[in-house]
Structure 1
Amino acid sequence: MPPYGEHLHSVEDLITSYSARRAGFVALALEKNRKATPLVSEARTLHAIASKAKTPTDLLNIPDIQAGLLTAAGLYKHPDRYLALGELKGGIDPAGADEHWKTARTALSRIRDAFKSFDLVPSTFFIGAAIERKMAGEIWSQLEVGLLSNAANLNEHDQVVSVSRWLCRL
C-alpha cells in the first residue's frame, strides 16, 4: 500500500470542509497576531545590521547574519542526504487555494528536476489547509502515478498524524 493509503481513500478525503475553513481563518488571525511582533523586531534588527554593508559581498563579512543568509539561500551541500521534500500551504482562503497549489506544484516539479540531475528521486509531499475539489483531483492523480509520495489536508488530524509517522519512518 502506498504511504498515503493509510489516511486517504479518495479525492473527497482531501477537500477542506466549510467548518474547517471557518475555524482556520480565526486560528490564522490569532496566530499571525501573536507571531508578528517578534518577527518584525528581528527583521528590523537584520535590516539595521545588513544596511551597514556597501556591497552584497560585504554581507559575507558580518558574522551576526551568516546563519540567516545561509537559511535564506536554502543551501545544502549534500543532496543525497535529503529524506523528503514537500510543500506546506497553511492559507485557508478558498479563493487562493488554487494559486497555493499551482505554486506548490511548480516548486515540487523543480525539486524533482533538480534532484534528477544527481540521479536522485526524493520522496515528495503536499500538505494544504485549503484544498478545493479540482486541486484535490490533481493531487490524487499525482499520488496515484507516483509524482507525489504523500499528501494530507492540514485540517484533518488523522491525515497529519499519518504523514508525520511516514516522515519519521523515512
Structure 2
Amino acid sequence: MSSHRNHLQSSNDLVTTYEATRAGFVALALEKNRRATPYVAEARALKEAASQAASPADLLNAKGIEMGLFTAAGLSDKSLAHLKTEDKIEAINGLIKNFLEPAGTNFVEELVFRFLLTRGDTLGGSMRNVGGALAQRKLTRAILSTLMIAGKRYHWQHSKTKKWIAMTNDDTEIELSLRGINWESDFGNRTLIYNLTVPLVKSNVDLCLFNLAPTELAANQSNAIDPSAVAPYVIALGELKGGIDPAGADEHWKTAQAALNRIREAFSRVGYTPFTFFVGSAIAKRMAGEIWNQLENGTLSNAANLNEENQVASISRWLCNL
C-alpha cells in the first residue's frame, strides 16, 4: 500500500476545514501577542525613564534612553547601522520639534505611541514568516515524538549556534530553536535539515532528509566539487507551507509544486529519484485534488494537512522509517 494511504482515503481528507482555519488564525494571533510582549515591556521602560524629563528638550540629556528615542523617531534597527551620529541626532531633534513639543504636557505619551508605531513595523515584518515557523515547530514536535515512542535517541542542531546537541530527558520547547535532527534508523544514519540550499537544485528546500551523519553532511556540502556528488545520499525532499489564509492556498501550492518539479528534474538528470512530499496548512478543494492525483500516480511520494494530527503523525512515522 502507498504510504499516503495510511492516513488519506481521498482528496477530501486533505482539504482544510473551517475549524482548522479558525484555529490557525487564533494561533497566529497568540504568537503575535507572544512576540509583542518584549516591545510592550520596552515601551513601559521608556515611559518610566522619559517621565523624569521636565520637557521634550530634556530628553536629549536623559541617560539610557537613546535607543528608545531613535525608535520613536522612526529609525529601525537596520537603519541605525548605516547612519552617522549627527544623522541620528537630527532625527531625534525632528521628533522633538515636530511631534513632542506640539503635544505639550502629553509629550511622554506621544513619545511612547511613536515608539510603538516603529516597533509595530518590526513586529509586522517578523510575522510575515510566522506561519512557516509555527508549521516547522509542529512538524518537528511530531517527528521528535515519533522517535521518542520508538525508543530512538537523537541529536538536534541549534538554529543559531549550529551545534549538535544530544537529546536529554527534558526536550521542552527545543522546537523553538531547532534546525536539524539526527537519528539512527533501521537502514542507517539519518539527518533531517530545515531550509537548506541543495547544490544540485540550486535553491532552498524546506525539508531535506539525508543518509548521512551531520559531520558527513557538512563534508559533502563543502568539499563536493560536483553538486551531484551529494545526490546518492538524499533520501527525501519536501515542501512545508504553514500559511493558514485560504486566499493564499493556491499560491502556496503553486510555489511548492514548482519547487518539487525543480527537485525531480535536477535529480533525474543525474539518475536519482528521491522521495518528494508536501505538508501544508491551507489546502483548498481544487489543490487537494491535484495533490491526490500526484500521490496516486506516484509523482508525489506523500502529503499531509498540517492541521490533522493523525496525518502529521503518519507522515512523521514515514519520514523516520525511510
**TM-score of the two chains, using structure 2 as the length reference:** 0.41
Shift of 1:84: 0.5
SS of 1:112 mapped into structure 2: helix
- CA deviation map 1:48-100 (0-9, x unaligned): 6xxxxxxxxxxxxxxxx9x7xxx775444512211110111000000000000
1:108: which partner in 2?
Answer: 260
1:41: which partner in 2?
Answer: none
Shift of 1:29: 3.1
In 2 relative to 1, CA 7–33 (structure 1 residues): closer, same or farther, beyond 3 Å? same
> In the aligned structure 1, how far is the partner of 2:280 from the partner of 2:248?
11
SS of 2:4 mapped into structure 1: helix
1:161: which partner in 2?
Answer: 313
In 2 relative to 1, CA 104–167 (structure 1 residues): closer, same or farther, beyond 3 Å? same
In 2 relative to 1, CA 103–32 (structure 1 residues): closer, same or farther, beyond 3 Å? farther
1:5: which partner in 2?
Answer: 5
SS of 2:283 mapped into structure 1: coil
1:51: which partner in 2?
Answer: none
Task: Find the partner of 1:83 among 223, 229, 235.
Answer: 235
Shift of 1:117: 1.6
In 2 relative to 1, CA 35–147 (structure 1 residues): closer, same or farther, beyond 3 Å? farther
AA partner of residue 267 (structure 2): F
1:60: which partner in 2?
Answer: none
> In the aligned structure 1, how far is the partner of 2:198 from the partner of 2:27?
29
AA partner of residue 144 (structure 1): E
RMSD between aligned residues: 2.6
Which protein is bigger by CA-based radius of gyration? 2
> In the aligned structure 2, how far is the partner of 1:82 from the partner of 1:29?
37
> In the aligned structure 2, how far is the partner of 1:113 from the partner of 1:74?
13
Pick the structure with more helix per residue.
1
Report which structure shows greater RCO (CA 8 Å, sep ≥6). 1
AA partner of residue 13 (structure 1): D
In 2 relative to 1, CA 114–35 (structure 1 residues): closer, same or farther, beyond 3 Å? farther
1:124: which partner in 2?
Answer: 276
Shift of 1:26: 1.3
Q: How many residues align?
A: 144
Pick the structure with more strand per residue.
2
1:2-151 mapped onto 2 (5 Å cutoff):
2-32=2-32, 34=34, 73-75=197-199, 76=221, 77=224, 78-151=230-303
> In the aligned structure 1, how far is the partner of 2:313 from the partner of 2:287?
22
> In the aligned structure 1, how far is the partner of 2:312 from the partner of 2:32?
21
- CA deviation map 1:148-169 (0-9, x unaligned): 0000000000000000000011
> In the aligned structure 1, how far is the partner of 2:11 from the partner of 2:35?
34
Question: 159-168 vs 71-80, which deviates more?
Answer: 71-80
Runs of 5+ consecutive residues of structure 1 not aligned to the other structure: 39-43, 49-64
Shift of 1:146: 0.5
Shift of 1:31: 2.7
AA partner of residue 89 (structure 1): K
AA partner of residue 5 (structure 1): R
**TM-score of the two chains, using structure 1 as the length reference:** 0.76
Question: Quick one: percent identity of the two aligned structures?
Answer: 62
Runs of 5+ consecutive residues of structure 2 not aligned to the other structure: 39-76, 82-159, 163-194, 200-220, 225-229
In 2 relative to 1, CA 5–100 (structure 1 residues): closer, same or farther, beyond 3 Å? same
SS of 2:239 mapped into structure 1: strand
